[in-house]
């Protein structure tokens, strides 16, 4: 059976929510999940954004809300991403057992005994948003994947050109932020990533 590698797109906080809605409704056929990561937005703004996405036909099951569990509960979104500014994963998992929770981690030690449903791990390659911080690389990524029993999503410096290298580490998905939002044509760039994932799947499992 083919293993489909999920494509996660993360908003970058640099575009208006109106732009986000405009673009992601066009992305939707090509992506697995949209992570709404907008730390400067209010709960009300996020609530309205998700309502607009839903009205535009974007499936709620494809939405992941970063940090704001309250907004997820209010909008019937079942996926949340927990980071270092959030409440602990164990508490969120205990108190909100109906939610599927992702944990953002940077080491194998952080992955031990987590209550998360998936892990977001990086940064894999050098990226402008992490200047001066050493990247983890695909060797450590593969080590992490081999030592955990839950899906691992790789993030950080992933381009269409190195997508297959990341897939070879055994990840369940890749996450992209600046690679999409800083592109001249974000919609075409999403298609490039999706095409590389499809090629990987076809080559690996044919």
CATH assignment, 6-205: 3.20.20.70
What are the residue numbers of the active site?
123
Question: In angstroms, rounded to a whole number, what is the distance separating the alpha carbons of residues 199 and 206?
Answer: 10
Q: Parallel, antiparallel, or unpaired for β 63-66 and 79-82?
A: parallel
65: nearest Cα among 79, 44, 49? 79
Beta carbons of 150 and 170 less than 8 angstroms apart: no
What per-residue confidence (pLDDT) applies to 2? 52
What per-residue confidence (pLDDT) applies to 126? 82
Q: What is the pTM of this model?
A: 0.95
* Predicted confidence (pLDDT) per residue in 170-187, tens digit: 999 999 999 999 999 999
**Every domain of the chain and the residues it spans:** 6-205
Question: In angstroms, rounded to a whole number, what is the distance separating the alpha carbons of residues 155 and 97?
Answer: 26
What per-residue confidence (pLDDT) applies to 1? 36
Q: Is the peptide bond before 64 cis (omega within 30 degrees of 0)?
A: no
169 pLDDT above the threshold of 60: yes
DSSP 27: H
Residues of the chain with pLDDT > 90, as a percent, come to 85
What per-residue confidence (pLDDT) applies to 197? 98
């Amino acid at each position: 059976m083919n293993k489909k590698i999920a494509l996660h797109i993360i908003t970058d906080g640099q575009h208006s929510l109106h732009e986000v809605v405009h673009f992601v409704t066009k992305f939707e056929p090509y992506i697995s999940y949209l992570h709404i990561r907008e730390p400067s937005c209010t709960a009300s703004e996020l609530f309205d954004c998700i309502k607009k996405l839903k009205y535009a036909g974007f499936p709620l099951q494809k939405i992941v809300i970063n940090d704001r569990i309250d907004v997820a509960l209010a909008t019937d979104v079942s996926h949340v991403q927990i980071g270092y500014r959030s409440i602990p994963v164990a508490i969120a998992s205990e108190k909100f057992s109906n939610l599927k929770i992702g944990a953002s981690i940077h080491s194998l030690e952080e992955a031990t005994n987590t209550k998360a449903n998936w892990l977001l791990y990086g940064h894999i390659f050098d990226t402008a948003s992490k200047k001066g911080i050493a990247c983890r690389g695909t060797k450590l990524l593969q080590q992490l994947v081999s030592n955990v029993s839950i899906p691992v999503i790789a993030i950080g410096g992933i381009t269409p050109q190195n997508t297959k290298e990341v897939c070879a580490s055994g990840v369940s998905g890749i996450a992209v932020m600046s690679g999409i939002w800083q592109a001249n044509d974000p919609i075409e760039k999403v298609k490039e990533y999706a095409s590389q994932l499809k090629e990987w799947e076809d080559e690996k499992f044919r």
